[in-house]
């Protein structure tokens, strides 16, 4: 789906997630018009009912992922997920300006998030990235914990 494609209505952002494409559609609904001014790691929680809790948070990032930044974020999320209870997961979206497909940087970030999630025992959804063109799955088997 590109920037010129139909944007799903915002009220679909909390529809149940039954597939990877459903999750992409939820992110697309939340992102609205695709135009980004900075690189962010965005995250939201998915409940045991497979609906996204649409309290969207983000962390500004630059360059390559560092263990300090990634572990700091995921370590903080681990306590929140435990507090939410059984069956909750974290959904990550890497966003930033630019065009084109999934980049090596996107893959590095997705891999770092997945490795940290495994270390902190945080269940995550497949990682996506959004730029000024599209919301896409980061296709890396290591990016699913």
Structural domain total, the chain: 1
What DSSP character marks residue 44?
E
**Cα separation of 70 and 51, whole Å?**
25
pLDDT at 58 over 80: yes
Could you tell me if residue 2 is inside a domain?
no
Burial string for 86-111 (b: 16+ CB within 10 Å, else e) reads eebbbbbbbbbeeeeebeebbbbbbb
Instruction: Report the C-alpha gap between 46 and 128 in whole angstroms.
Output: 14
The reported pLDDT for the residue numbered 2 is 46
Domain containing 22 — which CATH number? 3.40.140.10
| pLDDT tens digit sequence for 95-142 | 999 999 999 999 999 999 999 999 999 999 999 999 999 999 998 655
pLDDT digits (tens, 9 = 90+) for 63-78: 899 999 999 999 999 9
Inside any domain, residue 19: yes
Q: Is 90 helix (H, G, I), strand (E, B) or coil?
A: strand
Within a domain: 114: yes
Whether 50 maps to a domain, the answer reads yes
């Amino acid at each position: 789906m590109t920037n010129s494609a139909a944007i799903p209505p915002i009220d679909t952002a909390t529809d149940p997630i039954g597939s990877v494409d459903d999750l992409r559609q939820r992110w697309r609904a939340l992102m609205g018009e695709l135009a980004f001014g900075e690189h962010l790691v965005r995250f939201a929680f998915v409940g045991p009912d497979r609906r996204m809790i649409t309290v969207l948070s983000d962390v500004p990032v630059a360059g390559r992922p560092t263990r300090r930044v990634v572990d700091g974020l995921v370590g903080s999320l681990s306590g929140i997920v435990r507090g939410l209870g059984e069956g909750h997961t974290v959904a990550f979206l890497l966003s930033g300006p630019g065009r084109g497909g999934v980049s090596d940087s996107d893959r590095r970030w997705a891999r770092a998030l997945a490795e940290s999630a495994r270390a902190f025992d945080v269940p995550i959804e497949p990682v996506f990235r959004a730029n000024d063109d599209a919301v896409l799955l980061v296709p890396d088997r290591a990016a699913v914990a």
